[in-house]
Structure formats: C-alpha cells, structure tokens
Amino acid sequence: MSYPLPPLERVHQGKVRDIYRVDDDQLLIVASDRLSAFDVVLPDAIPGKGEILSRISKFWFAQFGDLVRNHLLDDDLADVLGDAALAQALAPRSMLVRALKPLPVEAIVRGYLAGSGWKDYRATGAVSGVELPEGLEQAARLPEPVFTPSTKAAVGDHDENIDFDRMQELIGPELAVQVRDISLAIYLRAGAYARERGIIIADTKFEFGTDADGHLYLIDEVLTPDSSRFWPEESWRLGISPPSFDKQFVRDYLETLDWNKTAPGPALPLEIIDQTVARYREAERILLSE
C-alpha cells in the first residue's frame, strides 16, 4: 500500500483508486501509485503518481462548473478522519466526494486516431460504430472529435468498446445524449487550453454518476495522464505513435514483451518507472503552470 490507511470501510478497490465510505452521503477516494495497462494492474508502483493525478483532476474539475456538476466536496478531511496528521498525509492524493451512482459506461472522446481506435479503424474503417473517412493515417487529427463509449470492466477484465445505440440501451437515450454532449464540450475546451501550452490531448475518457434526483455529475478523475493520451505538439507526426506524457510510454514498453496482457502483469525496470514519473510530472507542470 502506497499510503497510510484511513480508519474507514473500504467499499471498492479499483485499478488505481480505492474508495472508502465516510457515511451515507460521502466517500473518500484515495489515488494510489498503482499503474494499470491493458486493464491489468502492474506489480510496480509509480512513486508520487496518485498525488499528481489528484492535483491534475482537481484543477480540471474547477474548469467545467458551467457545463456539469462534479462530485468534489469542500469538507475538512481532518474533521472527517479525526486525525490531523493522517489527514495531512492523505490529502495530496485524496478527494472527499458525494456518494453517487456511477454510470456503467466510460465516456471516451477521440480527437486523433491512436491506440485501440487506430486498431479498430484499420480493421473496420470505424471506431465504436462511428464511420471515419478512408485513408487516415495513425495519429491523424479527426475532422471533428468523436464520442466512442465503452463498458466499464472489473479489475482484471477488459473494457469493451460499444456503439452509441448500445450505450442508450444501458443508461437510457436522454442520459446518453447528455453524457455525450457534455463529454465533447469538455474535450473541446480542455483541448484548446492544452494546445496553447504545447500539448495535444489525443483522446480521453470521463466517468459520470447520478444522485437520487437524477442529476448528472462528473466523477472519478479528469484529463490525467492515466485517463488521457497527451502528446507534445512539437513531436506530433502523421503515421507514428508520438512520444507521450502519459502511460502510453509504459504500454509501448509492454508491447515489446512476450506477455498475453492478462494478470499477473510483468515487472517494470527501474528506468521505465523513472521515465514514467518524469513524464507525469512534466504533464502536470505544463498544464497547471500559470
């Protein structure tokens, strides 16, 4: 465990985040230093990653209040835990949030052709049922961002790309349209902000939840190196997978190994861990600098 344990019931352990129940209305989300790739949690942690992800997410949550509610609460963590020293240790990697019902889908927006989207396009000419122009190359900028949802897999399982019709079946047509439109609006705003700072957000995924009254909230993490593909604009070239500020660096290393992408994951060499930390910190520096 990469952090001191809070005196609360852990109700869920995700690939990266652990969720603890404060009461019926509040949860504590703690971002560990675990790293997942191809939906498998790797045995080696990335030191400081949980704190970096939390700082970046809190920054982005504050940018989109006019578009959608978010799950963050402002209560004092020391009051919640009853231990000021423990609260101080946990605060950099934690978020105190509303207890909401997560939607069973991930909202993925792609502005460029990369990763599993590139693989789908080569096979079918489409991504999650969205037809794309013929002749696009790897890393091509799409004519406009596309919304390509997926299911949310349990730890150890793989997410499954689905089309928008299937998403509507899972959560209802009205909510599906709301999630799609908000996701695209967030991506466009964040993409413009990042581009001004020399970062291309090639794609990203969002998660949403609802309260008892059916109000929609942006939850989990937002536009981090774990949930997004960040490319240095100066290194972007058509036809290649550009160098990145995100965990694609680890994925690229893992693709060189004889590994079937099922648990247990392979150990990471120290130089891969160190370079991953450096990329995450650089993404944070660029995005959060004044």
Task: Report percent pLDDT > 90 for the chain.
Answer: 87
Same domain as 71, residue 117: no
Q: Does any domain span residue 290?
A: no
Same domain as 118, residue 28: no
- Over residues 230-241, the mean pLDDT reads 94
Distance CA 224, CA 287 (A): 10
Same domain as 160, residue 74: no
Q: Which long-range contacts (CB under 8 A, 24 or more apart) does 85-93 make?
A: 86/4, 86/6, 89/3, 89/4, 90/3, 90/4, 90/6, 90/28, 90/30, 92/51, 92/54, 92/55, 93/3, 93/30, 93/31, 93/32, 93/50, 93/51, 93/53, 93/54
Instruction: Give Cα separations from 71 to 62, 96, 205 (angstroms).
Output: 11, 8, 16
Q: Does any domain span residue 27?
A: yes
Q: Does any domain span residue 279?
A: no
Q: Does any domain span residue 2?
A: no
Q: Does any domain span residue 268?
A: no
Least confident of 38-47, 105-114, 198-207, 245-254: 245-254
Distance CA 228, CA 219 (A): 15
**Per-residue pLDDT, 25:** 96
Same domain as 59, residue 108: no
**Per-residue pLDDT, 152:** 79
CATH number at residue 46: 3.30.200.20
From 49, 84, 99, give the residue that closes a domain: 99
Q: Does any domain span residue 265?
A: no
Tens of pLDDT along 76-107? 899 999 999 999 999 999 999 999 999 999 99
Same domain as 127, residue 83: no
Flag whether pLDDT at 273 surpasses 70.
yes
Tens of pLDDT along 143-191? 999 999 999 765 555 678 899 999 999 999 999 999 999 999 999 999 9
**Per-residue pLDDT, 154:** 59
From 248, 264, 281, give the residue that closes a domain: 248
Q: Does any domain span residue 178?
A: yes
Same domain as 87, residue 167: no
- Over residues 244-271, the mean pLDDT reads 91
Same domain as 235, residue 113: yes
Counted domains in the chain? 2
How many whole angstroms from its chain centre is CA 76?
26
Same domain as 21, residue 141: no
Q: Does any domain span residue 4?
A: no
Same domain as 219, residue 120: yes
**Per-residue pLDDT, 129:** 87
- Over residues 124-147, the mean pLDDT reads 95
Flag whether pLDDT at 135 surpasses 70.
yes
Same domain as 238, residue 117: yes
Task: Report percent pLDDT > 70 for the chain.
Answer: 98
Same domain as 193, residue 79: no
**Per-residue pLDDT, 269:** 96
Segments forming the whole domain that contains residue 107? 102-248
**Per-residue pLDDT, 158:** 62
Same domain as 208, residue 150: yes
Under the banding of pLDDT at 50, 70 and 90, the label for residue 1 is low
Asked if 103 contacts 60 with a C-beta cutoff of 8 angstroms, the reply is no
Pairing outcome for strands 26-31 and 150-151 = unpaired
From 99, 117, 142, give the residue that closes a domain: 99
Tell me the pLDDT of the chain averaged across its residues: 94
CATH number at residue 153: 3.30.470.20
